[in-house]
Amino acid sequence: MLQLQVLRTRAEWVKERLAVKRFQKMELVDQVVQLDDQRRRLQAEFDQQQSQVNTWSKEIGQLMAKGERDAAEEKKQAVAALKAGLDPLKKQLQETDAQLQDILLQLPNLPAAEVPEGKTPEENVVVRTGGTIPELAEGCLPHWDLASKYGLIDFEIGNKVTGSGFPFYRGKGAKLQRALIQYFLDFNTASGYEEFLPPYLVNADSGFGTGQLPDKEGQMYFMPEDGYYLIPTAEVPVTNVYRDVLLKSTDLPIKMTAYSPCFRREAGSYGKDVRGLNRLHQFEKVEIIQLVRPENSHQVLDEMVAHVEKLVQSLELPYRILRLCGGDMGFASAITYDFEIYSTAQQRWLEVSSVSNFESFQANRMKCRFKDEEGKTQFVHSLNGSSLALPRIVAGILENHQTVDGIKVPAVLQSYMGMATIQ
C-alpha cells in the first residue's frame, strides 16, 4: 500500500509514475487527498468535542464537591448533548476512513525510475543472456514426450486423481524433483538465507499483507469453511513472519528461504502454452526473501538477481534476464526482473523466476517497521525471488540435456541424484 504522506505531498509525481504502469484511474489519487482532508477535519472536530466532554465532566465533579448541584446539573445536560453529537460524528469518521482505505487498496505500487515504459511482454528489456542453446538433432522431443519415454511424469494419472494441471512425478522424475529442491535450499542457505518450512494455508491478513488480497482472489484456492487460502507461493507465509513486528536496526537484513508447493487456479489459461509442465495448478518452488533498510534495497535487488543467475548457470541452461516494463509488472512490485530459460524443443522462452523489490509497499500493509539509530521508525523494504520454480526448470533440463543415450544430469545435481544420466 502506498504511503499516505507521499500521495498528499507528491500527487502529480505519483500520477506520472502510475502512468508508467498503465494505471487508468488517476482520479483515485485526488480522491485519496480529498478523503484524507475530510478525515482529518472530522478527527479534529471529534477530538475537540471529546476533549470538551472530558473537561466538563471534571468540572461536574468539582461543582458537586462544592455543593453547586444546579450548576452541575446544567453542565450534565450540556455534556449529554455534546456526547449525543459524538456518535454520528464517529460514524461519519469511520465511514470516511473506510472509503479512504478502500481507495488506497486500489492503487498499485509505484514503479522505480529504472522501469521502462511499455504495455506488453514484448516491450520488456533484455538485460543480459547466458548459456548456450544446444544444437540438438532433428526430431528432438518436448519435455512431455521425454517424461513419458523415461517414466518420469504421468500427466494422465494426475488428471484422473485430481484434474488437469496436477501432474504425478514418479521414479527418477520424483527423484529429480527432490534433488532440485534440496540443491536450491543448500545453495540459498550457503549464501546466508535462513531456511523455513511454512504452513501451506494462510489467513486473509497474510494474503493482504503481501498484496495477493484483494488483488488476486480469483487466482487463489479458498477454504470458505475455515477462511484459509492455499498459498500461491512461500513468499506469503514467510514474509508475514514479520507482520506487526517492530525490528531493531541491527536485525536487518533478514534473509529467508523456503520450499513449498504452490497452488494457483490459473483461470483463463488454455491452449498450447499450458501443455506438459508449462502451466500448472500445483507446483513446487523454492523462494528467497529479504527485509532490508530502504537505502539498501536496490543494491540488494542486484545481489538477489546475481544469486539467481548463478543458480541458473549452475544448471547449464540457456537463459536471459528481462527487466519488466511498467505495463507487465505485478500490482505490488516497484521493479521486477524475470529469468527465462530456452525450451529447445518448443523453441520458446519459459519464465522460471521473478525477482522483485516491493520497497515499502508490503511493509506498509504488514506494519513491518524498524527503529533506526536515531530512534526514528521506518518501514522496511521487502524483496523476494523464485530460487527457483521447478516445473519449467525440469522441462528445461529434459529438453536441453536430452541425448540419444538419455537425459544428461547437470553436474551439480549428480551427487543428489546418484547418477549422471537418466535412462
pLDDT tens sequence across 254-289: 999 999 999 999 865 555 577 899 999 999 999 999
Give CA–CA dist 232/216, Å, rounded. Answer: 10
Confidence tier at 59 by pLDDT (50, 70, 90): confident
Which SS3 state, helix, strand or coil, does residue 127 take?
strand
Residues 169 and 314 in one domain: yes
Is residue 163, in this structure, part of any structural domain at all? Answer: yes
Confidence tier at 73 by pLDDT (50, 70, 90): confident
Residues 168 and 35 in one domain: no
Q: Which amino acid is at 181?
A: I
Give CA–CA dist 72/77, Å, rounded. Answer: 9
Residues 165 and 309 in one domain: yes
As to burial, measured by CB atoms within 10 angstroms (0-12 exposed, 13-18 middle, 19+ buried), residue 336 is: buried
Residues 271 and 403 in one domain: yes
Residue finishing a domain among 104, 133, 160: 104
Q: Please give the full DSSP string across 370-420, using - where no structure is assigned.
A: EE-TTS-EEE-EEEEEEEEEHHHHHHHHHHHTEETTEEEPPHHHHHHHT-S
The predicted pLDDT at position 137 comes to 63
The predicted pLDDT at position 268 comes to 53
Give CA–CA dist 308/223, Å, rounded. Answer: 33
Is residue 81, in this structure, part of any structural domain at all? Answer: yes
pTM: 0.92
The predicted pLDDT at position 57 comes to 81
User: For residue range 170-208, what is the model confidence (pLDDT) as tens digits?
Assistant: 999 999 999 999 999 999 999 999 999 999 999 999 999
Residues 6+ apart with CB under 8 A from 244: 366, 367, 368
Confidence tier at 107 by pLDDT (50, 70, 90): very high
User: For residue range 290-348, what is the model confidence (pLDDT) as tens digits?
Assistant: 999 999 999 999 999 999 999 999 999 999 999 999 999 999 999 999 999 999 999 99
The predicted pLDDT at position 18 comes to 97
In the predicted model, is pLDDT for residue 243 greater than 60? yes
The predicted pLDDT at position 272 comes to 57
Give CA–CA dist 232/304, Å, rounded. Answer: 21
* Residue 177 grid coordinates: 524433483
- How does the average pLDDT of the chain come out, rounded? 94
Instruction: Count how many domains the chain has.
Output: 2
In 3D space, the residue among 277, 320, 318 whose CA is nearest the CA of residue 176 turns out to be 277
Residues 97 and 128 in one domain: no
**Per-residue buried b or exposed e for 401-421, using 16+ beta carbons within 10 Å of the residue's own CB:** bbeeebbbbbebbeebbebee
The long-range contacts involving 5-12, CB below 8 angstroms and separated by at least 24 positions, are: 7/32, 7/33, 7/36, 7/107, 8/32, 8/33, 8/36
Residue 131's domain is classified under what CATH number? 3.30.930.10
The predicted pLDDT at position 76 comes to 80
